[in-house]
């Protein structure tokens, strides 16, 4: 029987990522490598990915290790996965316009850019109520309960997600054309769709277009890891203080919020307010 070479294993790992539409959980990929190389080989996953990226660099692609804003909740999307760390296959060699243009026809491209602008605008703050319905709220509540030793809730919520009926108002395409495009954007792991019919930014788009989103829309970098935040916790003290300036806000992914309150301080590092008082769910 022919022995599987290291080059073969790198190629098979890349195929595994691509078959998962460019987003695969770290544990799933480690289990795949263990099946090829034994349990000890799984410990070399980071090394394999580094070697893979050396070869991908000339093609303008990279496999990035990132944390999803929903942490453990999002990880449950892939069987056998715990924690919020993923490997994402992204285009790093093209501009935003070039990346979109290679994926969509001109009319579709204009819709994709318009939809990204809609989803990149933070909605107004509203009362959160007594019970969390969104996945991000439930994950934040889990962190709060573990931290405080009892169930508790943040007072407000805000969202970047848009309902389908809003996106269907785009004037230059029919409703059926828009629905097909939204489905395609979800298949690409650029958008996600909730059971309630709302759309938001999924992991691959947040990684590939991170710089553009931070520069052109109201999305914020996480105060802990500095990567863009679309779901987690938002400091309303910063929002009320800096909304007109469009900068200086504090926000956290769920796992980063967990680290902030348990290992750093229960106060916002930007406005110094108590997070339990001024924190809002970002869903």
Q: What is the pLDDT of residues 227-277, one digit of tens each?
A: 899 999 999 888 655 544 444 679 999 989 999 999 999 999 888 899 999
- Of 141-145, 177-181, 214-218, give the lowest mean pLDDT range: 214-218
pLDDT above 80: residue 281: yes
What H or E segment, with its residue span, contains residue 115?
helix 106-119
Other Cβ atoms closer than 10 A to 184 = 15
For residue 78, the SS3 value is: coil
> What is the residue whose two structure tokens read 């991000």?
136
CA distances to 82, 135, 154, 219 from 131, rounded to whole Å, are 25, 12, 10, 25
Whole-angstrom distance, CA of residue 74 vs CA of residue 86: 10
Residues in the chain: 283
The arithmetic mean of pLDDT across residues 150-163, rounded, is 91
CATH assignment of 6-93, among 3.30.1330.60, 3.60.15.10, 3.90.1150.220, 3.40.50.150: 3.90.1150.220
Instruction: For the chain, give every domain's residue range.
Output: 6-93, 105-282
127: phi then psi, degrees, rounded to nearest 5: -65, 135
Whole-angstrom distance, CA of residue 159 vs CA of residue 126: 10
The arithmetic mean of pLDDT across residues 83-87, rounded, is 79
The arithmetic mean of pLDDT across residues 5-11, rounded, is 89
For residue 66, the SS3 value is: strand
Beta bridge partners of 91: 61
Q: What is the pLDDT of residues 19-48, one digit of tens each?
A: 888 888 888 898 898 888 776 666 789 899
175: which 2 tokens?
Answer: 């409703």
**In terms of Cα–Cα distance, which of 103, 204, 194 is closest to 111?**
103
- Of 69-83, 167-181, 218-232, give the lowest mean pLDDT range: 69-83
């Amino acid at each position: 029987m022919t022995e599987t070479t290291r080059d073969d294993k790198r190629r098979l790992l890349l195929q595994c990522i691509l078959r998962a539409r460019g987003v695969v959980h770290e544990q799933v990929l480690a289990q795949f490598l263990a099946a090829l190389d034994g349990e000890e080989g799984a410990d070399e996953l980071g090394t394999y990915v580094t070697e893979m990226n050396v070869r991908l660099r000339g093609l303008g692609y990279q496999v990035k290790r990132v944390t999803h804003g929903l942490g453990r909740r999002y990880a449950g999307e892939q069987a056998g996965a715990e924690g919020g760390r993923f490997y994402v296959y992204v285009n790093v060699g093209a501009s935003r316009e070039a990346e979109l243009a290679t994926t969509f026809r001109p009319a579709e491209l204009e819709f994709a850019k318009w939809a990204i602008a809609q989803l990149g605008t933070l909605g107004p703050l509203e009362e959160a109520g007594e019970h969390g319905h969104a996945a991000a709220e439930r994950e934040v509540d889990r962190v709060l309960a573990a931290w405080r030793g009892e169930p508790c809730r943040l007072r407000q919520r805000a969202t970047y997600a848009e309902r389908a009926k809003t996106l269907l108002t785009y004037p230059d395409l029919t409703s059926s054309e828009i629905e097909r495009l939204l489905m395609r954007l979800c298949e690409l792991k650029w958008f996600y769709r909730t059971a309630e019919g709302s759309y938001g930014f999924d992991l691959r788009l947040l990684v590939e277009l991170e710089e553009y989103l931070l520069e052109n829309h109201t999305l914020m970098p996480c105060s802990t890891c500095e990567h863009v935040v679309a779901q987690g916790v938002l400091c309303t003290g910063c929002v009320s203080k800096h909304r007109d300036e469009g900068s200086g806000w504090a926000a956290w992914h769920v796992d980063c919020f967990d680290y902030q309150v348990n290992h750093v301080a229960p106060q916002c590092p930007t406005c110094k307010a108590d997070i339990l008082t001024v924190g809002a769910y970002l869903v």
